[in-house]
Amino acid sequence: MRIGVLTGGGDCPGLNAVIRAVVRKGVTAYGHEFVGFRDGWKGPLEGLTKPLGIAEVRGILPRGGTILGSSRTNPFKIENGVERIKSNLTEQGVDALVAIGGEDTLGVATKLSELGVNVVGVPKTIDNDLNGTDYTFGFDTAVNIAMEAIDRLHTTAESHHRTLVVEVMGRHAGWIALHAGLAGGANVILLPERQFDVEQVATYVTKRFQVEYAPIVVVAEGAQPLDGQMVLHNQELDSFGHVRLGGIGQWLAQQLEEKTGKEARTVVLGHIQRGGTPTAFDRVLSTRFGLQAIDAVHEGDFGKMVALKGTDVVRIPLIEGTGELKTVPLERYEEAEVFFGS
């Protein structure tokens, strides 16, 4: 069997570990042949390939990013996109695809599967917002990066007696903000799942200063004030209809400075959260996902996504993983709120 592999959407640590696991087991255990499609769905759309064998995946386990490249290409927004993909797969002699990606990449995989393309999905996103799986790889690494940044910011904030607002990624789901904020001892955590009251945040900040400690506020990029809207970098939409977010941290810092009379600064972690080597957890999870994915392909169990359920890696229908986003439940946020203002 000749199998295509692609990685789409935002990059994250662990992508290369999945590719490595798929190829190594596919070649050594099953005798399959592989071809890498470059730059997400742009690869099969335009016939962009690169060799993918044992030699190509040696040494890539600890590397961040993806050796195949990525993009946010949506073939369903391109004229004859689906027909071009099917034609290129046939021309390349590809019998099946392993698609590694998040909501958008696997959403395309779901539609293509319904149209007869043999696809198995692997869930990837630092946001941890894909349904059907307890965790996605990339999330643990992003949280640890954000936590380390918060740890460092505590000392500089206290030295200068200022508020530091840390803006992390999270368009519709605040998993990174919640976990990094809890692990880093933040005084306030603001998520997209619940609008926040700026006056209340200012009260928490003031209480922190009263005990002679400087406050750390962690805010997800998609968080919104009461009766407000998400702060946008610009109004442009990508091929999946997403706006580019950015600026909530700066807006909030200005508000807090005005309301508390204390200096406030913003740190936007941005793509730092995506970069660098994956944690041990993400390396292991990525490898297990890759092994399960190639097993599914070998068995002809297409239209499935691999997923973590408890400690087991299982297969679920692709539609279960992409039907709706997994957001932070209100009770999980309320668990964290007990620390605010203390």
Catalytic-residue membership of 151: no
Token pair recorded at residue 165: 């607002």
The response to whether 103 counts as a known ligand-binding position is yes
Give the Å distances, CA to CA, from 256 to 118, 276, 333.
52, 33, 22
Nearest Cα to Cα of residue 21 among 272, 331, 342, 291: 291
- Separation of first and last alpha carbons in the chain: 60
Q: Assess contact for 239 and 74: CB atoms under 8 A.
A: yes
User: What secondary structure letter does DSSP report for 270?
Assistant: G
| Catalytic member of 39, 127, 129, 295 | 127
Distance CA 126, CA 324 (A): 17
Q: Is 271 annotated as a binding residue?
A: yes
Is 212 assigned to a binding site? no
272 annotated ligand binder: yes
| Residue 170 known to bind ligand | yes
Mind giving me the DSSP string for 299-321?
TT--SEEEEEETTEEEEEEHHHH
305 is in an annotated binding site: no
236 is in an annotated binding site: no
Q: Is 171 marked as a binding-site residue? A: yes
246 labeled part of a ligand binding site? no
> Is 292 a known ligand-binding residue?
no
- The annotation status of 298 as a binding-site residue, yes or no, is no
Q: Is 221 annotated as a binding residue?
A: yes
Per-residue tokens: 6? 């692609």
Q: Where are the beta strands (DSSP E) in 169-254?
A: 188-190, 216-220, 232-237, 243-245
Burial 274-291 (b: 16+ CB within 10 A, else e): bebebbebbbebbbbbbb
Residue 127 assigned as binding residue: yes
Binding residues for Mg(2+): 103
Binding residues for substrate: 125-127, 162, 169-171, 221, 265, 271-274
Active site residues: 127
Binding residues: 10, 103, 125-127, 162, 169-171, 221, 265, 271-274
Binding residues for diphosphate: 10
